[in-house]
Amino acid sequence: MTTAKTGAEHIRSLQDGRTVYIDGKLVADVTAHPAFRNSVRSAAALYDFQARPENIEAMTFSPDGANRRVNRCWQLPRDHAEMVARRKAMQTWASLHCGFMGRSPDHVASTLVGQRIGIEVFEKHGSARAKALRDYFEEASRNDYFLTYVIINPQAERAKDWGDQAEGLVAKIVDEDTGGITVRGAKLLGTSSIMANEVFVANLQPLKPGEEDLAFSCAVPMNSKGLRVLSRKSYEASAVSVFDNPLSSRFDENDALMYFEDVKVPWERIFVHRDTDMCRAQFHDTPSHAFQNYQAQIRLSVKLKFLCGLAHRITEAIGTSAMPPVREQLGFLAANVGMVHAMLAGMEADGTMRNGYWVPNRHQMYSAQVLTQDLYPRFVNIIRELAGGALIMLPSSVEDYADPHLAKIIRTTQRASKMEPDEKVKFLKAAWDAIGSEFGSRHTQYEMFYAGAKFVTSGHSFRTFDWGGATGMVDDLMSTYDLESELKRVQAGNGKA
């Protein structure tokens, strides 16, 4: 048994009649459309990479009783060593897109790994729902599905509760019968949905009693009848060429509004049913939220290392790399890359056993999440500071080179001590694509918000910190002296202690 899912198989699986719209038109085939085809190929390349004989051992594993290997993201780690092997596979995958595909298949697989480990939480909710989760995990992992999720509601009127939003806005159960539930309304932001096989639908934001219609979770195939996918603008489609936009043209994983127009979901794919607290518990009482965001930090560790390399090359391109203040900035960036790597190692080393599986340390994960949410825009700003106008003073497109006269001017003006002019142009275009293009700017928004706004992520950190230990230290100090005895000493004329 040495085979694993390949890119060609993945591409075929996306030609399933899904209903995706862009620029007012229905997309006949996402794998061929100029807005999506390169990103689809980048996703497919992940599967081709894992299936290569030289990578198969590091990237995949054999689930018990399976007749095919699947990606390690589906592995429930039995100990620290398995967790580290799983992380290394994810880092290797992320390095194929320099960390720019935030919703690569390992993200939502990690969500489900956490839910599967905490299956007793679903058992408490109901044995049929637990069975549905168990069976779905089996199906998704054995088939190495690419899953995405929509677990957030449209912002609409943020000061109102979710149940009080306008009719037809937030996805909810509008009907149910012996076959299952019917869902109507919207969820966002469906990142990677265009190239995923299925979408996990849930509600992560707090619900209150009375909002049971909104309180469900389920998994639906992307070609489900009634599921409308409204893509945002495609950065891939507006990319000029691979030379001009090497990242936007290939790694635009896309985001999309998912509108459920009376989508029917069978009971065997419903994991939470009309239980507002269970919507929270599926993520937070299981290690699901910990696993999915641990994966996000794993991916980010690769992206930050890439950006750090980019910063260093920029200083070479403009000849500032030996200047002490520039080295100080580079040293600061490098220290933060080191911090994220060390925090990952900490989450793993300080993990705990649950139901026979090793789970990452939650508070250390939230610490990394809160810190990196601020760090990312800071990183981008420092790179801009290091670059000055170099990121802008570039030929309009590769086509300028086709005119020999213009090419000569470009080669005269794009000089650098450590790079040939053509190499410098090529590199600086990549740098701008990473941090300044519309694609790059979307990435800053992504890193700042993918896990929730600051008040949400800091709230997780607050909830999971060892306040007893921290305040206990303060209390211990307080217990070493008191006002009464100090006063007695002063009154006895003993002065300073």
Ligand X SMILES: Cc1cc2nc3c(=O)[nH]c(=O)nc-3n(C[C@H](O)[C@H](O)[C@H](O)COP(=O)(O)OP(=O)(O)OC[C@H]3O[C@@H](n4cnc5c(N)ncnc54)[C@H](O)[C@@H]3O)c2cc1C
Which residues form the interface with ligand X (CB under 6 A)? Answer: 103, 148-152, 155, 158, 188-191, 255, 442, 445-446, 449-450, 452-455
Pick between residue 49 and residue 149 the one whose CB is nearest to ligand X.
149
Residue 424 near residue 395 (C-beta atoms within 8 A): no
Pick between residue 172 and residue 313 the one whose CB is nearest to ligand X.
172
Q: How far does Cα 241 stand from its chain's mean position?
A: 26
CB atoms within 10 A of CB 82: 16
In the complex, what is the shortest distance from the CB of residue 199 to ligand X, in angstroms, rounded to a whole number?
9
Q: What whole-number distance in Å separates Cα of residue 124 and Cα of residue 278?
A: 10
Pick between residue 155 and residue 485 the one whose CB is nearest to ligand X.
155
Task: Provide CB contacts within 8 A for 433, sequence distance 6+.
Answer: 244, 245, 246, 247, 248, 439, 440
Pick between residue 189 and residue 237 the one whose CB is nearest to ligand X.
189
Q: What whole-number distance in Å separates Cα of residue 293 and Cα of residue 368?
A: 10
The SS3 assignment for 264 reads strand
Residue 196 near residue 44 (C-beta atoms within 8 A): no
In the complex, what is the shortest distance from the CB of residue 456 to ligand X, in angstroms, rounded to a whole number?
6
Pick between residue 63 and residue 459 the one whose CB is nearest to ligand X.
459
Which is nearest to 163 in space by CA: 190, 220, 219, 203? 203
In the complex, what is the shortest distance from the CB of residue 450 to ligand X, in angstroms, rounded to a whole number?
5
Residue 451 near residue 293 (C-beta atoms within 8 A): yes
Query: For 288-336, where are the E strands, in sequence order?
Result: none
In the complex, what is the shortest distance from the CB of residue 22 to ligand X, in angstroms, rounded to a whole number?
17
Q: What whole-number distance in Å separates Cα of residue 36 and Cα of residue 193?
A: 11
In the complex, what is the shortest distance from the CB of residue 283 to ligand X, in angstroms, rounded to a whole number?
12
Pick between residue 346 and residue 452 the one whose CB is nearest to ligand X.
452
In the complex, what is the shortest distance from the CB of residue 297 to ligand X, in angstroms, rounded to a whole number?
16
In the complex, what is the shortest distance from the CB of residue 40 to ligand X, in angstroms, rounded to a whole number?
17
Residue 218 near residue 8 (C-beta atoms within 8 A): no
Q: What whole-number distance in Å separates Cα of residue 372 and Cα of residue 458?
A: 12
**Torsion over CA: 60, 62, 68, 73 (sign):** negative
Q: Number of C-alpha atoms within 13 angstroms, CB side, residue 303? A: 26
Residue 312 near residue 330 (C-beta atoms within 8 A): yes
In the complex, what is the shortest distance from the CB of residue 101 to ligand X, in angstroms, rounded to a whole number?
12
In the complex, what is the shortest distance from the CB of residue 103 to ligand X, in angstroms, rounded to a whole number?
5
In the complex, what is the shortest distance from the CB of residue 444 to ligand X, in angstroms, rounded to a whole number?
9
Pick between residue 445 and residue 471 the one whose CB is nearest to ligand X.
445
Partner residues linked to 26 by β-bridges: 21
Contacts 24+ apart (CB under 8 A), 342-346: 343/297, 343/367, 343/368, 343/371, 344/87, 344/294, 344/297, 344/298, 344/301, 344/368
Pick between residue 248 and residue 414 the one whose CB is nearest to ligand X.
248
Pick between residue 104 and residue 301 the one whose CB is nearest to ligand X.
104
Pick between residue 150 and residue 302 the one whose CB is nearest to ligand X.
150
